[in-house]
Each structure stands twice: as structure tokens, then as C-alpha cells.
Amino acid sequence: VLTGCQTSAPKSGGEAGKTQTVTLKAGHPVAETHPYHLGLVKFAELVNEKTNGQIKVDIYANGQLGNERDMIEGLQLGTLDLVVTSTGPVSNFVPEMGVVDLPFLFRDRRHAYNVLDGPIGQDLLKKFAAKNIVGLAFWENGFRHLTNSKHPVNAPADVQGLKVRTMENPVHQETFRVLGADPTPMAWSEVFTALQQKTIDGQENPIPIIYNQKIYEAQKYLALTGHFYSPSLLLMSKAAFDKLTLEQQKIIQEAAIEAANYEREQIKKQEDEQVDKLKAAGMEITEPDRAAFQEATKSVYDKFAPQFGQDLIQKILDTN
């Protein structure tokens, strides 16, 4: 394996010399069967190949390096180089990011990709720079659905009184509050035990998380509400990024986008297969009327419009 860059490689203020091997430490919160992991493996392969083995990426799954918020703080401190995270804790760092968490904001995947990969999403990614983080690309978590151990959910009224684990995310919490649930933020690592012990009634996540994390072992009912479209993000420590040459930085940025497309495909593929697998595992699945949920959560927009700006919300809604 060649470890030397071409001598014509553009220089930067980076400290990574032309022949020095760099190992980047990457973390994510979920199982190795989940597309986050598959996407990071693809990203690592692309980076390794395009840098002729100069940059290696070591991947730590299952929240080994802490929960999402811990890992994002690790990027700021320079103790961690790369993270794939949901948008859950991100608005604590970049408040404007919370706009993408509004319920029923995105009509479908195509709409989400057009917003996130277009000027609106790219502007949001740039806001990470002020926090010593490089926003490399939007990946995907997926449309989120509701599971619980009490009863089938067919209408908004069925959510009333359910104690639902949510992410540490004000928009998510408010959405479940207006539905009459008791939103309970909790670290992901504690959720499965809490569901088993029935200290919470339910949780909400995309299908690949519900399946890969074996939520069906602790929950009987799944409602395909699709209440939030949840992007994920590939973020990098600015300290680590700045140490690379301009050539290497470009490779990282291109690989992040190429891996994003691959990771999104994996999410879609798993979703298509796993609903049937969840049914086979004994879950009772309902498909509630989304319009009723949309109507019931309208007030969330009123609450957050002053924070995110009605103009930005409207721009997103008006995107094809």
C-alpha cells in the first residue's frame, strides 16, 4: 500500500505530513447491523482507498464512546474525530437544526433529500463551524414510528397517557406533550431495560432501530405514524479536520456524501424488509391516519415558529 501523497498535493496548515498515517476514531450509538455502522464502514473504505491507506477510520459501535451528546462534546474537545448522530441532541449545539425535527415537516424522502442536500441543509451544516465541528453530510435515520406495550394506536387519542421515551429534543418532547403523552427523555442505552421493566410504556424510532435493537422483545404494538423524518449527521472534529491536507479534506468531504447515499439506501432496504420481520416476531402493527396526527400536532409549529423563523419553515414546506 502506498503511503505517500503525490508531491503536487495541495498543502494546508495541516500537520499531517505527506507520508504520515492518520487514524480517525469514529463513534455511533447503535448496533453493527444498523445502517449507521454500514455507512461508516463504507466511508472508512472510501477514505482508505482514496488516500492510499494514509487515513484509517476505527469505528466504535453501540455507544461504546458514550451517548450521542457525549460524542458530540468529544468532537468539540478533540477526544473523538467522527460521529454519526441523530438530530436528537444536536439542537443543544446548533439551535437552528431543531427545525428539521418539526412533526410532519417532510412529505416523503425525496422532499427531505431536496431540502437537506440543497441550500437550506448546507446552510445548516455550516453553522457547526462556530462550535468547532465540521458538518460533513446529512445521512438518514428515517421516518419515526411509535411502539408501546399497552394497546394498539390508531388515532391521536390512543397516545394520551402513554409514557413515551423521547430523545433529549425540545421539539420531539413538545410534540408528544400536545398528543397528551408523557414524554420522557432518556439515554438510549437505558431504554431497553426501561421498556422491559415497564417504567416507560413506549418509545419512537425508525424501523431499522426498532428491529436491529430488538425493541420487539419488549413492545407488542407498533404504529406506523411517521411523525418525524429523522435525518442523521456525519460530524467531524474541526481540530482533526484542520490537521489534514486540503487534498485529504476534499477526500473526506466527498466520501461523506458518497457514503450518505449508500447509508440512505441501506435504511430504505432495511425498512422494506423489517416491517414484515417485526410482524413475524409478534408485533401488532397499525397504520394510523397521518392527517389526524398532523392536525393534532399543528400547535408545535406555532410554538417554535418564533425560534426557527416562519420564513425558513415555509421555505422547507415549499421545496419540491
The pTM (predicted TM-score) of the whole model is: 0.89
250 found inside a domain: yes
Instruction: State yes or no: pLDDT of 4 exceeds 90.
Output: no
- If pLDDT is split at 50, 70 and 90, which confidence band does 248 have? very high
pLDDT, residue 100, reads 97
Ramachandran quadrant class, 145 (left: phi over 0; alpha: psi -120 to 50; beta: rest)? beta
Residue 2 CB neighbours (<10 A): 10
Q: State the Cα–Cα distance between residues 135 and 96, nearest whole angstrom.
A: 14
pLDDT, residue 9, reads 39
When divided into structural domains, the chain yields a total of: 1
pLDDT, residue 265, reads 98
228 found inside a domain: yes
- If pLDDT is split at 50, 70 and 90, which confidence band does 315 have? very high
pLDDT, residue 7, reads 32
User: Contact at 8 Å (CB) between 125 and 115?
Assistant: no
- If pLDDT is split at 50, 70 and 90, which confidence band does 3 have? very low
Instruction: State yes or no: pLDDT of 11 exceeds 70.
Output: no
Average pLDDT estimate for 62-67? 95
- If pLDDT is split at 50, 70 and 90, which confidence band does 14 have? low
304 found inside a domain: yes
Q: Which residue, among 45, 27, 48, has the nearest Cα to 248 in the 3D structure?
A: 48
DSSP 75-132: HHHTS--EEEEESTTGGGT-GGGGGGGSTT--SSHHHHHHHHSSHHHHHHHHGGGGGT
Average pLDDT estimate for 196-202? 98
Q: Give the domain range for residue 51.
A: 22-318
6 found inside a domain: no
The CA-based angle 312-314-320, given to 5 degrees, is 105
Handedness of CA 71, 72, 75, 81 (dihedral sign): positive
Write the pLDDT tens digit of every residue in 264-299: 999 999 999 999 999 999 999 999 999 999 999 999
User: Contact at 8 Å (CB) between 76 and 133?
Assistant: yes
In sequence order, what are the beta bridge partners of 145?
A: 205
- If pLDDT is split at 50, 70 and 90, which confidence band does 241 have? very high
**Structure-block grid coordinates of residue 224:** 406506523
pLDDT, residue 270, reads 95
pLDDT, residue 193, reads 97
9 found inside a domain: no
Write the pLDDT tens digit of every residue in 100-133: 999 999 999 999 999 999 999 999 999 999 999 9
Residue 264 CA, chain-centre distance (Å), reads 11
pLDDT, residue 18, reads 55
**Structure-block grid coordinates of residue 123:** 446552510
Residue 57 has phi, psi (to 5 degrees) of: -120, 120
pLDDT, residue 168, reads 86
* Distance between first and last Cα of the chain: 45
Q: What letter represents residue 5's amino acid?
A: C
Q: Which residue, among 275, 120, 284, has the nearest Cα to 206 in the 3D structure?
A: 275
pLDDT, residue 8, reads 34
11 found inside a domain: no
Residue 192 CB neighbours (<10 A): 16
User: Contact at 8 Å (CB) between 263 and 35?
Assistant: yes
Name the pairing type of β-strands 182-185 and 163-166: parallel
User: Contact at 8 Å (CB) between 210 and 222?
Assistant: yes
Instruction: State yes or no: pLDDT of 166 exceeds 50.
Output: yes
Average pLDDT estimate for 255-270? 98
Helix (H) or strand (E) segment spanning residue 290: helix 290-296
Alpha carbons within 13 A on the beta-carbon side of 317: 11
4 found inside a domain: no
13 found inside a domain: no
Average pLDDT estimate for 41-67? 97
Instruction: State yes or no: pLDDT of 10 exceeds 60.
Output: no
Q: State the Cα–Cα distance between residues 55 and 50, nearest whole angstrom.
A: 9
CATH number of domain containing 131: 3.40.190.170
Q: State the Cα–Cα distance between residues 201 and 17, nearest whole angstrom.
A: 54
User: Contact at 8 Å (CB) between 191 and 197?
Assistant: no
pLDDT, residue 88, reads 86
